[in-house]
Amino acid sequence: MTRSPSRTVDYLIHEAHEIITAAIAAENLPVDLDHECGDDCDTCDRLDWLSRAAGSLDVVLSRFDRYSDGRPISGTVEYQHGRTFAYTFPAADPVPGERELTRFALAPFDEGMPSPGQAVIYADDHAGTLRVDLLPGNVIVGRFNR
Ligand SMILES: [Zn+2]
């Protein structure tokens, strides 16, 4: 693994991570109900192109695991068995100290069961660490993070 050579490359790496995240989100969008897919579907062609470009970008990015200042570029934390939360740390000017990134309801153990609680995800951008708190009960009305 390699450290980024400069602050400029740090910014490029961060923005590339954002593009990959957006491409993955686009792949997971439910297909529009009006979407009538034929052999030459522009929507599907563009999504395929975006997916391939993001995949290539991911291969190039995998060469780097640290920003030029030594901090990790990204991290993951497991919040429920087999389910992880991924985060890309900011490229520059990380604020010391932990802050809440997001909170969401945990997926039920079985179909039709209530959520067993919620996950609260914290990041320390300066230290390059992630932490999860699991709280009992479904205090918030949240989406399930799958
Ligand atoms: Zn289509």
Unique residue bearing structure tokens 């497991």: 78
Using 50, 70 and 90 to split pLDDT, how confident is the model at 136?
A: confident
Expressed in angstroms and rounded, the spacing between residue 111 Cα and the centre of ligand 1 is: 30
Residue 137 has pLDDT above 90, yes or no: no
Q: Quote the ligand 1 centre to 84 CA distance (angstroms).
A: 30
Q: For residue 43, what is the enclosing H or E element? A: helix 42-61
- For 23, which DSSP code? H
* Fold category of 74-136 in CATH: SH3 type barrels. (2.30.30)
The alpha carbon of 45 and the centre of ligand 1 are apart by a number of angstroms equal to 7
Alpha carbon of 31 to ligand 1 centroid (Å)? 8
pLDDT of residue 39 exceeding 60? yes
The CA distance from 31 to 27, in Å, is 9
- pLDDT (0 to 100) of residue 33: 52
- Across the range 4-19, mean pLDDT stands at 95
**Residues above pLDDT 70, as percent of the chain:** 90
Q: How far is the CA of 108 from the centre of ligand 1 (A)?
A: 32
pTM: 0.78
User: Where do the structural domains in the chain lie, given as residue ranges?
Assistant: 2-66, 74-136
Tokens of 40: 């030459």
In this predicted model, which residue has the larger pLDDT, 29 or 132?
132
Beta-strand runs (E) in 35-128: 64-66, 74-80, 83-88, 98-105, 117-124
